Amino acid sequence: MKFFSISNVLNAIAIAQLSFIALVNAEGNPKWPFVSEKDVQFNGKKREVGAVGRIVNGTEVDAGTYPWFTSIVDYNGDHHCGGMLIAPDIVLTAAHCMVQRDYFGEYYTVSDTTARIGALKYPYQPGNNGGQDVEEIEVAEVKIHPQYKDELPLDFDFAVLKLAEPSTIQYANIDDSDKQFSDNYVGGEKLWTIGLGDLSSDGPVPSELMHVEIDYITNEACVSYPYGYPDYLLNDNHICAADLYKDSCQGDSGGPLYDADKEAIVGVVSWGFGCADPMYPGVYARISTGFRWIREFACTLTEAEQLPDFCDITVSPTVSPAPTEYSTLTPTIATSSPTALNCGDDDVVMAEVIIINDYNPWETVWALSSNSFLATGSSYYYSDEWWKECIPINETYTFSIYDNGGDGLQSNGNGSYRIVVDGKLIKSGGSFTFAEHTVFDTNLPPFICKDSTQPFLVNKKERDCEWVGKEAETRCARGGDRVWTHCPKTCGKCDAGCRNSGARFKVNYLNKFRTCLWVGTKDTDMRCAMIGNDNGRSTCPKHCGGC
């Protein structure tokens, strides 16, 4: 779980210096938590420093408990990372398990891997696997979440593996946009982390699958005393979990964080500082926040006749309910500027205020205001508030939230609020006293006229803007809107302003041709990332933030 590249080590040392958290070693000298490269690891295969993860202070797993557990095996036949079968021919694991660096520092996707489904006891062979079925199937295709970056905090640490053929072993249930199990946790829930990693730091490798029970820790608690993580390293994409001297670590990366009560996998082993360090819980990729992408590729890539239930789920915006059985999601009571705003206009952006109430919702009111706009909200029942409206751009706004009880949104519960503008998180919180204020603006960068760098189709042939420029006058005129909106600079149409391409262009991530209408229909941020953020801004600027 704890692996670090050299650049990440230097970054971690800087983080440690900024966080001013010191420990004292046996000789009484202060010791920074990240000062040594060996101290900072991801749970992945060994790269420049660190090592792969293990289950610390766990116990052996009985046959049939986790039949879907998968060992990702490298070309030498060695255990590389954990994973879990989530459809007959789909394995979910961590992105950092499947991304490596070459000697020149360039990233590439790991190939020549095999999925050992049902791995329980050495030698992990049919008829000799501790009384449990096991199958070895080659990995045919690897998909990495497009928003994953191989640097802390490892957001969206997900990879989907397509197997060469379906497994006959029963696949696992995962947290999804309907269940949202982990989004409802309040702290202290019992979870299990599972793996085949080392039994201790630089220690022996187990001969059979291990698991250990650990506690869910809220992100707010994970960045507070007695824990040592700085708050900018954790967000809604992560789950913290640990118990005293119990943890996942090197070799367990990509494996499951399992809720036995709900019978569902809620997280993927991702990263952490050290292993079983009381100051630093294990950090897991939260499946509910990555579910849209997991679903899209698992349900698209699979060739199996039997599909998992989550392929039938209609994905909608995710809002966590309040920690009470009376919670329902209803629009807040709000007043806004009298002028109706058309969300398709270029001079407005979508704003959202999401309030997850505590047990005293009547204490809380909020306001969002600028020189030309005012919206307010309050709730008198055990209901969440979700306010959405388009607000004018190029203005400065103040968001104020008040609680007359003086305990913020923490009255006998873990409430919270989020402000989201144009799909970007502006502020989140909940732990304050009587009031908290946030000032932000909606100034958009000036539009810069650019040709798209993506190949596009002209009369069913793959072309690009360089081709258009060789006979610009003729090809821009004959191609009409499809050509000049894709190559506005070449075609001399910059005075037309910010426009999406009207062509069918190539999405390299999918190796398929798509349109800007497809980008804007759903999962827009993810699809812009699939094009490449810079390429997306020049190809579909209205959807991808290029205007």
CB count, 10 Å around CB of 451? 19
Both 413 and 463 in one domain: the answer is no
**What 3-state DSSP class applies to 239?**
strand
Is residue 155, in this structure, part of any structural domain at all? yes
Query: pTM to 2 decimals?
Result: 0.57
Rounded Cα distance, 175 and 259, in Å: 9
What pLDDT, on a 0 to 100 scale, did the predictor assign at position 403?
78
Both 498 and 431 in one domain: the answer is no
What pLDDT, on a 0 to 100 scale, did the predictor assign at position 91?
97
Rounded Cα distance, 94 and 152, in Å: 14
Task: Among 418, 441, 464, identify where a domain stops.
Answer: 441
Rounded Cα distance, 219 and 76, in Å: 38
What pLDDT, on a 0 to 100 scale, did the predictor assign at position 6?
27
Is residue 237, in this structure, part of any structural domain at all? yes
What pLDDT, on a 0 to 100 scale, did the predictor assign at position 359?
79
Residue 55: give the domain boundaries: 1-314
CB count, 10 Å around CB of 190? 13
Both 239 and 351 in one domain: the answer is no
Both 174 and 29 in one domain: the answer is yes
DSSP per position, 245-303: TBEEEET-TT-EEEETTTTEEEEEEEEEESSS-TTS-EEEEEHHHHHHHHHHHHHHH--
Rounded Cα distance, 215 and 348, in Å: 44
Q: Is 484 left (phi over 0), alpha (psi -120 to 50) or beta?
A: alpha
Rounded Cα distance, 421 and 393, in Å: 10
Q: Are 268 and 256 in contact (CB under 8 A)?
A: yes
Both 385 and 508 in one domain: the answer is no
Both 22 and 53 in one domain: the answer is yes
Both 15 and 56 in one domain: the answer is yes
What pLDDT, on a 0 to 100 scale, did the predictor assign at position 266?
96
What pLDDT, on a 0 to 100 scale, did the predictor assign at position 123?
93
Cα atoms found within 13 Å of the Cα of residue 145, Cβ hemisphere only: 29
CB count, 10 Å around CB of 465? 23
Catalytic residues: 96, 157, 253
Both 190 and 271 in one domain: the answer is yes
Rounded Cα distance, 66 and 79, in Å: 17
Per-residue pLDDT of the chain (547 residues; tens, 9 = 90+): 443 332 332 233 233 322 222 222 323 322 222 222 222 333 333 222 222 334 667 889 999 999 999 999 988 888 999 999 999 999 999 999 998 765 455 566 777 899 999 999 999 999 999 999 999 999 999 999 988 887 778 899 999 999 999 999 999 999 986 677 898 999 999 999 999 876 555 556 788 999 999 999 999 999 898 888 878 789 999 999 988 777 776 778 999 999 999 999 999 999 887 677 788 899 999 999 999 899 988 988 888 888 888 887 554 443 333 322 222 222 223 333 333 344 556 678 888 888 888 877 777 888 888 887 778 776 644 556 778 888 888 889 989 888 777 788 887 667 888 898 877 788 888 888 878 889 998 876 666 788 999 999 999 999 999 999 999 999 999 988 899 999 999 999 988 888 899 999 999 888 899 999 999 888 888 888 889 877 888 899 888 877 7
Question: Tokens 């994973």 identify what position?
Answer: 83
Both 251 and 197 in one domain: the answer is yes
Both 361 and 264 in one domain: the answer is no
Identify which of 354, 489, 486, 517 has the alpha carbon closest to the alpha carbon of residue 420: 354
Rounded Cα distance, 184 and 321, in Å: 7
Both 143 and 275 in one domain: the answer is yes
Q: Are 509 and 490 in contact (CB under 8 A)?
A: no
Q: Which residues lie across from 216 on neighbouring strands?
A: 241
Task: Among 441, 468, 483, identify where a domain stops.
Answer: 441
Two structure tokens written together for 423: 């799909």
What pLDDT, on a 0 to 100 scale, did the predictor assign at position 99?
86
Number of domains the chain is built from? 3
Is residue 447, in this structure, part of any structural domain at all? no
Is residue 134, in this structure, part of any structural domain at all? yes
Is residue 449, in this structure, part of any structural domain at all? no
Is residue 243, in this structure, part of any structural domain at all? yes
Both 297 and 388 in one domain: the answer is no
Is residue 319, in this structure, part of any structural domain at all? no
Cα atoms found within 13 Å of the Cα of residue 134, Cβ hemisphere only: 26
Task: Among 398, 417, 441, identify where a domain stops.
Answer: 441
**Segment holding 453, helix H or strand E:** none
**Segment holding 336, helix H or strand E:** none
CB count, 10 Å around CB of 207? 13
Alpha-carbon torsion 500, 504, 505, 509, what sign? positive
Residues 6+ apart with CB under 8 A from 174: 84, 86, 92, 264, 265, 266, 287, 291, 294, 310
Is residue 450, in this structure, part of any structural domain at all? no
Q: Are 421 and 343 in contact (CB under 8 A)?
A: no
Give the CATH number for residue 15: 2.40.10.10
